[in-house]
């Protein structure tokens, strides 16, 4: 065996967290979509924004599918519990990505019945509601969900509002989860604006550049209080500790303890926040177009830390608020040693796939998008 079972379980949570953090960076596409009506005053500016984002729209969708697939293969018990019981959340998230794909395909098709503005509305829904619900789902790693598991691992969800079973939508009614979602929405807007600054030639549309730089700062200021609230809560909220016998209990300042006992995560979290801020300052107040790389890397660092924090160091990553002993941990939710071992060998090829993505990205963005190019081809 390549690693012992416990190491494999932790390794695969780390791998899933890396994919999830990359997805948060690629949400720049969704963030850019929500900016469309605020920064594009003319048809030409709109075409520049949508065409630039349209070059990359497949990447976040593919990464989200990869993230879900990795969780399904490595932690099937979590996949069955969350996707099976909280299916309205996941169905709405997937639906928002489906209408995104349809919008890029049909927005400019001749004879479409809805007109381009309906498809632009679909893009806004994908970038706002879709990302908000993803943030709320991530928040449940810290706050838990209303489910129980019996001795046969059959899951029962119990959350009703006015007699209606919300099937996971209750996650959006938690202030912590909602704050996480709103922060991700506006952080995606920051990344979207910074990416557009990096990818578009503004020689004929200088006002578009000015509006984008203003949106970088406005979106960051809007995201900041929600980020601070999330971080303060994480530092002081009770967490779900798992002892050597697998018994789950509530422990004060559990996530603060996780940060202090795993300094790598603390360093990544702090470095991520600093890098995001530096990228914002470059984009908002300098003439630089390189802010996306600093804020993007910072998002990956911070996202990775926030995804690892509720799972490592003997912590339940999907706690049950109805029955603590039904909570899911890396140890009780993972696949068999054989499955994880085979997956690990397959994962050795992932760096080559990532290198290919970086290569294609560089080719596509080697030349900044111009007005003449969008007149030939736009989404």
150-183 confidence digits (pLDDT tens): 777 777 777 666 556 677 777 778 899 999 999 9
Find the domain containing 296 and state its range: 5-376
Confidence of residue 2 (pLDDT cuts 50, 70, 90): low
> What are the tokens at 236?
């002081």
pLDDT reading at 79 higher than 90:
no
Question: CA quadruple 119, 124, 127, 128: dihedral positive or negative?
Answer: negative
Residue 187's pLDDT is 97
Residue 368's pLDDT is 86
Residue 162's pLDDT is 55
Percent share of the chain, pLDDT over 70: 96
How far is Cα 241 from Cα 238, in angstroms, rounded to an integer? 9
How far is Cα 76 from Cα 364, in angstroms, rounded to an integer? 37
> What are the tokens at 102?
């349809």
Percent share of the chain, pLDDT over 90: 57
> What are the tokens at 35?
């900016």
Residue 57's pLDDT is 87
Range 268-279 average pLDDT: 97
What torsion, rounded to 10 degrees, do the Cα atoms 125, 131, 137, 138 define? 180
pLDDT reading at 99 higher than 70:
yes
What is the reported pTM? Answer: 0.93
Write down the mean pLDDT value for the chain.
Answer: 89
Cα 330-332-338 angle, rounded to 5 deg: 85
In the three-class reduction of DSSP (H, G, I as helix; E, B as strand; rest coil), residue 165 is classed as: strand
List pLDDT tens digits, range 106-129.
Answer: 887 777 777 788 999 999 999 999
Residue 55's pLDDT is 86
Q: Which of the pair, 134 or 366, is modelled with greater confidence? A: 134
Q: Which of the pair, 149 or 343, is modelled with greater confidence? A: 343
Confidence of residue 84 (pLDDT cuts 50, 70, 90): confident
In the three-class reduction of DSSP (H, G, I as helix; E, B as strand; rest coil), residue 46 is classed as: helix
Give alpha helix (H) positions in 239-262. 254-261
Range 46-68 average pLDDT: 89
Select from 55, 103, 105 the least CA-distant residue to 369: 55
Q: Which of the pair, 223 or 326, is modelled with greater confidence? A: 223
pLDDT reading at 1 higher than 80:
no
Q: How many domains does the chain have?
A: 1
Residue 377's pLDDT is 62
Residue 293's pLDDT is 95
pLDDT reading at 35 higher than 70:
yes
List pLDDT tens digits, range 192-222.
Answer: 999 999 999 898 899 999 999 999 999 999 9
Confidence of residue 70 (pLDDT cuts 50, 70, 90): confident
Range 253-274 average pLDDT: 95
Confidence of residue 310 (pLDDT cuts 50, 70, 90): very high
Residue 171's pLDDT is 77
In the three-class reduction of DSSP (H, G, I as helix; E, B as strand; rest coil), residue 154 is classed as: coil
């Amino acid at each position: 065996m390549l690693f012992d079972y416990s190491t494999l379980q932790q390794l695969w949570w780390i791998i899933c967290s890396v994919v999830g953090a990359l997805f948060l960076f690629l949400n720049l596409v969704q963030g850019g979509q929500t900016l469309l009506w605020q920064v594009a005053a003319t048809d030409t500016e709109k075409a520049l924004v949508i065409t630039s984002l349209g070059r990359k729209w497949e990447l976040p969708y593919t990464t989200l599918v990869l993230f879900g697939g990795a969780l399904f293969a490595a932690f099937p018990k979590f996949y069955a519990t969350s996707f099976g019981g909280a299916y309205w959340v996941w169905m709405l998230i997937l639906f928002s990505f489906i209408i995104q794909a349809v919008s890029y395909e049909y927005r400019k098709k001749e004879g479409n019945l809805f007109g381009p503005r309906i498809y632009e509305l679909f893009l806004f829904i994908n970038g706002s509601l879709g990302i908000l619900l993803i943030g709320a789902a991530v928040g449940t790693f810290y706050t838990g969900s209303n489910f129980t598991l019996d001795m046969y691992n059959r899951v029962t969800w119990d959350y009703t509002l006015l007699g209606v079973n919300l099937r996971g939508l209750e996650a959006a009614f938690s202030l912590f989860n909602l704050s996480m979602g709103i922060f991700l929405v506006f952080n995606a807007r920051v990344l979207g604006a910074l990416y557009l600054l990096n990818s578009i030639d503004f020689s004929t549309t200088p006002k578009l550049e000015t509006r984008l730089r203003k949106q970088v700062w406005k979106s960051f200021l809007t995201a900041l209080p929600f980020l601070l609230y999330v971080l303060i809560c994480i530092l002081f909220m009770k967490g779900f500790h798992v002892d050597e016998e697998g018994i789950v209990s509530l422990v004060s300042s559990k996530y603060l303890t996780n940060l202090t006992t795993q300094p790598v995560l603390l360093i990544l979290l702090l470095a991520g926040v600093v890098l995001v801020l530096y990228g914002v300052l470059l984009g908002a107040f300098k003439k630089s177009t390189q802010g996306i790389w600093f804020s993007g890397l910072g998002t990956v660092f911070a996202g990775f830390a926030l995804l690892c924090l509720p799972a490592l160091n003997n912590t339940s990553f999907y706690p049950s608020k109805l029955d603590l002993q039904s909570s899911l941990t890396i140890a009780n939710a993972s696949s068999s040693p054989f499955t994880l071992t085979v997956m690990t060998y397959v994962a050795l090829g992932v760096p080559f796939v990532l290198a290919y993505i970086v290569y294609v990205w560089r080719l596509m963005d080697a030349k900044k998008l111009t007005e003449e190019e969008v007149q030939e081809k736009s989404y």
